[in-house]
Chain A
Amino acid sequence: MSVLVITEHIRGEVRDITRELVTAAQDLDGPVAVAVIAKDPSALADAVNVSGVDEIVNVAVEQEEFENDVYAGVVEALAKEREPDVTLTGFTVNSMGFAPAVAARLGLGFASDVLSFRQDGDGLVAERSFYGAKVNAEVEFPGKAQVVLMLRATSWAPAEGSGNATVSDFQAPQIESRARHLEFVDVEQGDVDITTADFLLSVGRGIGEKENLAQFEELAEKMGGVLSVSRPIVDSGWVPNVRQVGQSGKTVKPKVYLALGISGAVQHLAGMKTSGTIIAVNTDAEAPIFNVAHYGAVADLFDVAEELEKLF
């Protein structure tokens, strides 16, 4: 099955996800083409000319940075003219802006947050999760000649080595971009840096009320660590986002990560799953955090915290 990988880049750098997609593409029998949609695609060519790539397709556009109409227009044209069996994008914020649109417009097969996929007879089967990762499903695409898959990040190792891909040019269609990039605004640096801590005590929505937060900050300090949190705690305005672990927060790799009342959603795991030792406390025995934890306890976090207080 032929594969088309859509390159993701920001500020002149190709993001890791693109080389992860190249690795994933090897799960089919190929060939593998990589489309680079950029103002100057050739400047990014080296970064995508990795082992496993057969062809690099340069698509020059006016825009330096990602704009969803531009990507939708180009990927649609590529789908129509090149007819790849499978188009791969990351399950990333950029791709969320165009991949579903292309599939909807052209009536293609589509699945997102895909964990694995394989050819099955003439068709394709993809695996994804439902119900807070407690259930997985195999989905198929009956009657679809082309399928768009958005793949979960960090599920495949990034492809390395230097490839010897052929390079071709593809003429971008005329596109009116209705949502235009103005500027990037970087995250403000706070007075804590959770990425350098050896021990993170991390709390999630399970702590219930804002009033409970202080006790965990104290406990973290007492245990010789730093308090970090899942996104809902930041969303509620209880702590600034410098303490947030996950896809839209910080990626951390402490020696010990103690998760209290965190379910283990994909976007949280993205930021902590490579921690040295992960310990999770949750009242739900089936919480997906236990799938990445080294140690787990099905217990009330307040009871455990109260006992921990006495031991440090």
Chain B
Amino acid sequence: MKIVVAVKQIATLGDEVEFTDDERAVDPDFLDYALNDWDSFSTEEALQIRDRSGEGEVVVVSVGDEDAEEAMRRCLAMGADRGIRIWSDALDGADPITVARALAEVIRREGPDFVFAGVQSADSVQAATGVALAELLGLPRVAVVTKIELGDGKAVVDRELEGGIVDRTEVDVPALFTIQTGINEPRYATLRAIKQAEQKEIEVVEPSDLGEPAYRVRRMYVPEKGAGAEMLDGSAENVAQRIAEIVKERLK
């Protein structure tokens, strides 16, 4: 059983932001980094399937610069076997289909039984990379999966729709699933595992053909706030008093 998991190091903004001179991106000095939430669930799911099958390998693949290895090391510390990092400067701020092309080239070569990706990344919310990747790999796919049961030559998965309705779906395998949060309880890596993960291999690959981008960012900006909220200032006591007044008044 070989499972490839596509993971991403996401970037988060605090309460301040500045843009690069061409205004096409956020100045990296204002960003913090973390493993995408969805990807700890997809990694966990892959590890559980590997361990139940008793053999095989979980390979984490990521598109990112050297800093992204921190997120990959977290997956390796959870128990993934090895990593492949894909990078070239052309991938900086790339659209999800370009990212999928970069991933496809490497994953095709691995010939996995399953490919997992997160439903979306918290910093870009495109929900597109995984399904585009499946298409490029020629794999059946299901998006937004909350349960996986493996059978012979088939899998039955739950796909969670709006309102929480589940669409139970039978899928031919090999297949790609985009994994939704809550599908499992991602494990915490022990200190020992974190140390050991430093020894695990991360191969670095440069993509050969990225094709034409699906979009190009023209400019980034801080959105208008609209009317905005009336801000309640002062101590926690003052804030609570105002909230209590508003609640009591509105519930009259």
Contacts and interface: CB of A to CB of B under 8 A. Distances in A.
Interface of A: 10, 65-69, 72, 91-94, 96-105, 107-113, 125-126, 129-144, 150, 178-187, 198-199, 223-224, 231-232, 234-237, 241, 244, 247-251, 255-256, 258, 265-266, 276-281, 284-286, 290-291, 293-300, 303-304, 306-308, 310-312
A159 B231 CA distance: 35
Interface stretch (B63-71, B74-82, B123-131, B192-200): B123-131
Contacts of A111: 95, 214-215
A184 B162 CA distance: 12
Contact of A178 (B17, B124, B172, B228): B172
Interface of B: 11-15, 17, 26, 31, 95-97, 100-101, 119, 122-129, 131-136, 140-144, 156, 158-172, 175, 178, 181-182, 185, 211-223, 225-226, 228-233, 236-237, 239-244, 246-247, 250-251
B131 A98 contact: yes
B164 A244 contact: yes
Contacts of A10: 161, 165
B49 to A, nearest CB: 18
A304 B242 CA distance: 11
A187 B167 CA distance: 11
9 contacts: A68-B142, A72-B135, A99-B128, A103-B97, A107-B212, A112-B125, A265-B125, A295-B231, A306-B236
B215 A139 contact: yes
Contact of B232 (A144, A150, A297): A297
Which 10 pairs of residues, A with B, have the shortest CB-CB distance? Answer: A307-B240, A235-B182, A178-B140, A296-B229, A303-B236, A100-B128, A101-B135, A104-B132, A293-B229, A110-B214
Nearest to B232: A297
Contacts of B228: 290-291
B168 A184 contact: yes
A69 B140 contact: yes
A129 B172 contact: no
A248 B160 contact: yes
B95 A110 contact: yes
Contact of B135 (A105, A140, A241): A105
Given A179-B170, A199-B247, A97 B240 contact: no
Contact of B168 (A110, A137, A185): A185
B213 to A, nearest CB: 8
Nearest to B19: A135
Contacts of B133: 104
Given A93-B143, A285-B15, A294-B229, A132 B246 contact: no
A92 B141 CA distance: 16
B127 A113 contact: yes
Contact of A129 (B11, B132, B223, B241): B223
Contacts of B165: 10, 184-187
A149 B39 CA distance: 25
Contact of B162 (A68, A93, A131): A93
Contacts of B239: 281, 297, 299, 304, 307
Contacts of A65: 167
Given A100-B96, A132-B12, A247-B162, A234 B182 contact: yes
Nearest to B41: A235
A180 to B, nearest CB: 5
Given A110-B128, A132-B12, 20 more contacts: A67-B169, A97-B144, A100-B127, A104-B100, A130-B26, A130-B123, A132-B13, A138-B218, A178-B172, A178-B175, A179-B172, A180-B171, A184-B166, A223-B247, A231-B181, A249-B163, A279-B247, A290-B229, A295-B242, A311-B244
Q: Which of A107, A130, A276, A296 has the most CB of B within 10 A?
A: A130
